[in-house]
A and B are shown apart, each in its own frame.
Chain A
């Protein structure tokens, strides 16, 4: 786990904040002008939601070292909580619903994080599956959560921030982008704060962390709470901005694995890693279906596509674990250093 230390290149690089600021300026200023509706609907919106979920899981798994297989449950909790706050609390602005939904997800995260106080490793990973199955069951079983709609489907409300209505693909993109940018910034501040260091200390050596006075139990629960909060907000974006209609089954175990894969492929203990991983996870099925259709024609129907996606995804995971355990982030940093070096030596 060397990814935390990031890059220590000797090149006189620009200040660290330049790249993200430029990126965000580009995302706000240029992308809405040049993007097609396909780009927003099929790529950017799922990318933003999954990236944020990846950031959330990375705080728990990458930084605090607690493996969770129940991320989709917290996404579902966030989405359904936001829906209900928005529906049932008169006059609450949408942002208020989203923040409250985050707190609901955090509370559920604390409850299902309790086993982490006594369990470690595989035992903990398996016990987080309880969250996955329980939440999915509860949302399907009790129709109150979905306002008595058939099979638990919920429809998203109109999106607006501070009175500005955000309609259409571009509006929803801006809505998602704003939330993701703010939460990611806060997450970045968090992991470089005392609390973030505490997480890393607990991950690396729990006994040592205890000796230097870190309240281990409280910090673990805090990691579960913060992670679940972020994943919950990501669930709201997934439901409200991307899909617009969701049902509990959309947040199944496969989704949890998908988020876990995002942080493995992107890079554990790296905020940027979640974005790299999410980009690959979103783009690769689309690319594979294009490529398959091009090469194999009619043989490549949706069934075959589905299966080959599974195979390639599984192979990718194993390849990354073997060849690049620190993920795409490490790969990216290496390439960038090479380029800088080549540029300097000319």
Chain B
């Protein structure tokens, strides 16, 4: 049994899993951005992702050039971010986090409905100009598209880290994340910061939406990728970008390996819940997640 274990196949599955984990991380980063600065688990991230991808695809299909469509979509995402801050977050300031969570649940319904009401419900293909042909690296077949996605994700994490560390507004994000009242006391403008964060989350949603859209086709089910990102967040901690990356890799890899090696014992299709079980078992051992703040209990 062990003797004829196919290592090359194992590595192929592992690498494929890790790369698809990067795709989960991409979605998870959008959550982390908002959670870090406002303590809200933003369930609408998936809806934003759908909205961004759908808007972009529809613009391109109507003959708008690629780059312009990107800019226009980003502008729309910024506008949505500002609108959300004005209409939803501001009236709910100082409400318990779970109330804000439910508000984002409502928000996701609105955005999903609006996206499809405006652009229709049919499935759109999205071609980013990257061919999805397998590359052979060291005898292991790896999808070219996956590598591209990984590079984009890495670039985005680098960009966000630099932004948080070295820019003035990035620093104020961190100040707000540490202590909202103290941040207000030193004169940081919370509404501006929140609107910026939501716009940044919109940008992440746009990038993730394009990559996922190219993979799955742009359609309603795109908003369901949040459900893939949630166990990643539970594993990595809601407030850690690094955690989102490592959690994504862990979930992606274990999910693929489980699907290939033990999936048959369950009759297949276990990927709908396997990630959750991994995250739960992990949390039972280490309640703060991989890199999350130590304090999970809020008393």
Enumerate chain A interface residues (CB-CB to B < 8 A).
67, 115, 118-123, 125-127, 129-130, 133-134, 136-137, 140-142, 205-207, 253, 257, 260, 264, 303-304, 307-311, 313-318, 321-322, 325
Contacts and interface: CB of A to CB of B under 8 A. Distances in A.
B193 interface: no
Nearest to B47: A314
Given A120-B296, A123-B296, A260-B102, A314 B97 contact: no
Given A137-B269, A314-B107, A317-B106, A123 B283 contact: yes
A257 B108 CA distance: 12
Interface stretch (B19-27, B138-146, B250-258, B273-281): B273-281
A115 B117 contact: no
Contact of B98 (A67, A136, A140, A316): A67
Contacts of A307: 113-114, 116-117, 121
Nearest to A304: B117
Contacts of B183: none
B168 interface: no
Contacts of B99: 321, 325
Nearest to B270: A137
The 5 closest A-B pairs by CB, nearest first: A314-B109, A317-B106, A310-B113, A314-B110, A130-B276
A317 B102 contact: yes
A133 B276 contact: yes
Contacts of B297: 120
A130 B273 contact: yes
B299 A314 contact: no
B110 A126 contact: no
A309 B41 CA distance: 24
B109 A317 contact: yes
Interface in B137-186: none
6 contacts: A123-B238, A123-B287, A310-B113, A314-B109, A321-B102, A325-B95
Contacts of A206: 299
Nearest to B44: A314
B273 A126 contact: no
Interface of B: 41, 87-88, 91-92, 95, 97-99, 101-103, 105-114, 116-117, 121, 227, 230-231, 233-234, 238, 266-270, 272-273, 276-277, 279-280, 283-284, 287, 296-299
Given A121-B97, A127-B279, A140-B269, 16 more contacts: A115-B280, A118-B287, A120-B298, A126-B41, A126-B231, A127-B280, A130-B276, A141-B268, A207-B299, A303-B121, A308-B117, A311-B113, A311-B117, A314-B107, A317-B109, A322-B103
A119 B110 contact: no
Contacts, number: 131
A122 B98 CA distance: 7
A338 to B, nearest CB: 24
Contacts of A207: 299
B110, B112, B268, B287 — which one has the most chain A CB atoms within 10 A of its CB? B110
A119 B277 contact: no
Nearest to B109: A314
Contacts of A140: 269
Contacts of B107: 314, 318
Given A137-B270, A311-B109, A129 B230 contact: yes
A136 to B, nearest CB: 8
Contacts of A316: 106
A67 B41 CA distance: 13
A321 B107 CA distance: 12
Given A133-B272, A307-B117, A317 B105 contact: yes
B273 A137 contact: yes
Contacts of A136: 272
A70 to B, nearest CB: 10
Given A126-B231, A127-B280, A264 B298 contact: no
B273 A318 contact: no
Given A137-B272, A141-B266, A314-B113, A127 B106 contact: no
B241 to A, nearest CB: 17
